[in-house]
Amino acid sequence: MNAISRDEVEKTLRQYTDPHYNLDPVSAGCVRTIDIHGDQVSVQLELGYPAALFKAGWSQTLQVGLENLPGVAAADVQVDCIVQSHQAQVAALPNVKNVIAVASGKGGVGKSTTAANLALALAREGARVGVLDADIYGPSQGIMLGIAEGTRPEVEGQRFIPLQAHGVQVMSMAFLTDDNTPMVWRGPMVSGALIQLITQTAWDNLDYLVVDMPPGTGDIQLTLAQKIPVAGAVIVTTPQDLALLDAKKGVEMFRKVNIPVLGVVENMAVHICSNCGHAEHLFGEGGGEKLAAQYEVDLLASLPLSMSIRSQADAGVPTVVAEPDGPVALIYQQTARKVGARIAALGAVATAMPSIVISDD
């Protein structure tokens, strides 16, 4: 019997594509060890994104593939998930590895709902997650995450202790003000208050801080983008032409401040009639896909226009928590893994980039 070689094991692994990296485990740099003892093969993989709901199935798929290799009697594939810090551009936030901005060019496209479900999905995948509601004029994360009106954060020294909801840490200007009092502030006041809120919140060892950005591309958005070390941005839109036009402005804004756009989430893509099952594209069709193609970014998800998504968020129990095994929640889980994988891949590229030193000699 011929001895099994490492090259044969790697060749087999290359036949399987990780759907989140869009690469095989070898090309994605996930292989940590390959041990071969006679007809026994043991492989250790390391994913750079949280994947608690995915890794068992992925391990089994690769194990079966290796056991089909001639000469292999048994294979064992161990998959670990380790999230690294990929903060760039500006000074790092303490106790936060990665900041994800969830943004839209206009309001009413489901940005806050997406931010809440993305955060909860990342947490279900095993990550430590925080949510910052940066939408000063229309904060909604407290309601969406089921935090009772009037709840206030504890203060420890000069820092706020974030509230807890469904296993994620949450902070919002709404927790410091009266819900019935509008924030009648000019842009610089809002920007200053937000930066202070972010930097004076005692986040507890987060893998990801999901920032629910205000809609638009004005002074507040630019200040946040320039002052916070954002690892990447998720753009939320609907298929409607007007929403897409504003979403393009959002993509352009992040590119101008050198923040990678991780992808596009298209909400209200299709309505399924609850009576007859008829599918109808009420706001147009394929808009998110066209936007993603135009800017060469990924369409992370295309979500239906669903009353349950809205009603569950209004009740303080977003879809990922309310129906964790439902089809919509599964889309959010896939989106969360893709977002984590994009950040990990961008971080790997940045680490591999050679440094350029310019001297006067």
Q: How far apart are CA 121 and CA 53, in angstroms?
A: 10
Where do you find CATH 3.40.50.300 in the chain? 96-351
**Placement of tokens 């839109």 in the chain:** 237
- What's the pTM value of the predicted model, to 2 decimals? 0.89
Q: Check whether 71 is labelled as a binding-site residue.
A: no
pLDDT for position 249? 80
Q: How far apart are CA 361 and CA 339, in angstroms?
A: 44
pLDDT digits (tens, 9 = 90+) for 346-359: 876 554 434 333 33
Where do you find CATH 3.30.300.130 in the chain? 6-81
Q: Which fold has domain 6-81?
A: GMP Synthetase; Chain A, domain 3 (3.30.300)
pLDDT for position 209? 96
Q: Check whether 106 is labelled as a binding-site residue.
A: yes
Q: How far apart are CA 69 and CA 185, in angstroms?
A: 66
Q: Check whether 284 is labelled as a binding-site residue.
A: no
Q: How far apart are CA 104 and CA 102, in angstroms?
A: 7
Q: Check whether 248 is labelled as a binding-site residue.
A: no
Give per-residue burial for 35-74: e unless 16+ CB within 10 Å, then b.
ebeeeebbbebbbbbbbebbbeebbeebbebbeeeeebee
pLDDT for position 222? 78
Counting as low any pLDDT under 50, the low residues of the chain are 278, 280-284, 351-361
pLDDT for position 122? 98
In 3-state terms, the chain is what percent helix, strand and coil (to 5)?
A: 35, 25, 40
Regarding the domain with residue range 96-351, which homologous superfamily does it belong to in the CATH classification? P-loop containing nucleotide triphosphate hydrolases (3.40.50.300)
Q: Check whether 107 is labelled as a binding-site residue.
A: yes
Q: Check whether 110 is labelled as a binding-site residue.
A: yes
pLDDT for position 280? 47
Q: Check whether 105 is labelled as a binding-site residue.
A: yes
